[in-house]
Structure 1
Amino acid sequence: RLLAAADGIVLAAEASTEPTGTAGIYVDSRGRNSIVIGPGANASLSTEFMAANAALIGDAGVLLAQLESPVESIEAALGIAREAGVLTVLNPAPANAPSSISLLKLADVLTPNETEFAALLGRHVGERVEADDVAALDGASLHALCRKLSGNTVVVTLGAVGVFVSHDEERLRGDSQPYYRVAAESVQVVDTTGAGDAFNGALVASLAQAPDAAFIKHVRFANQYAARSTENEGAAVAMPRMTPADAG
């Protein structure tokens, strides 16, 4: 099992007798995917492991988490990071993973896709919105739903439609407005597998490298990086390679 914190990249390993997690991925003719996951060792990540690595978490620039490990362990890691003043980012994936309001409150930045966003609204806010309808909502309505879900920043990734960002009006993170859209990049989509991971990884890498930059700069970088990741088959192997010139 691995614990990852973004300030560059820091990894700590916990020995496990469980098999490595695996995923079966099916891609249709339009590049859209569905994934069946066997979590393996990920499912046994412990709160004790998080406590033992509190110093590592506290030294990070950004902590990124998602929900393919036990929710209590993820909540423990986010809580440790919050106490240490580390920026916390939660990607609430997959959509059917258990979650709680207390968990969501620990995320300075919440990054659901439209399916995950609709699931969280139904589970925690009592708002019934179809995932396919999220992207078509007007900005004010979508912002209002984000505010009901979280008091912090919410970034809803909308696939081919782009990204929607919603801030608390008292914490704009360097932006000039509380909500806005960033249009999707124009790319030739081959395979969307890993695009969400690409977006989240690029977002936290950008945040760690330039924490004082306006938030929209980080979102634009992540949006572009994720779009480029869909132009090739596969997940990790499809991720674009960065050069010093790209980073600048």
Structure 2
Amino acid sequence: MLKNVFLGISILFVLIYFSASILYDTKYVVYIKPVIIPAFICYAFCAFKERLNSHYLIFVFFFYAGEIGILFMEQSPIMYKFGLLFYFFSYLSLINLAYPYIKFVNLIKEIKLYSFFIFLLLTVLLVFILKIIFDSEIDFYLNTIIVLNALSAIFLVVTAFILLQEIFNRKTVYYFFGVFCIFFSDVISAVNFYLLDDFYLNLLERVLHFSGFFLFYLFIIQKEENKFS
């Protein structure tokens, strides 16, 4: 079947991407990334077309556009800025993806004390990362985009916690861990780029990045079900 062909292509390019990044120069490996997401989305359309709503497709568009923009980090600073801006819109799309499942009437009584603690911890972490970035010599527009991305990342994590507390089932667990994969992927990427350049951190960032994207796919195709007991 056609969906199996697209799934096979996706798996093949993921394996090539990760194995090549270990064995060869990572500068050339990054150009394999743009093939993976389109092949996987073709599989998703063949397998679960009726469950891929417009909110998810908007997220995929901005996420993929961000991937393309990031590829031109060294060649074109403007494309790199647009890539980061597209990531910002992909974060907003993810937040929008969760809101239909949240009942704001019960929001206050559902929020636990540990949620505020984790929110505060993540905020401090992001402030630390932003300080490292701003100590580098980068322009005003890039600073602004980075701040927008950091704020949207915090709101995305908060949304994930609220959703998990509102509805604790397999679907929301996928969303929760998908958010944390994307969040820590970005944190590791910033640390790796501005503070140190470590091969294993770079590899971990890629694993988290693709894991997050796959978990959001599982979230969107997962049928509604009862809460875990």
Using the size of structure 2 for normalisation, the TM-score is 0.30
Using the size of structure 1 for normalisation, the TM-score is 0.29
Identify, as 1 or 2, the structure richer in strand.
1
Identify, as 1 or 2, the structure richer in helix.
2
Bigger Rg, structure 1 or 2? 2
Answer 1 or 2: higher relative contact order, Cα 8 Å, separation at least 6. 2
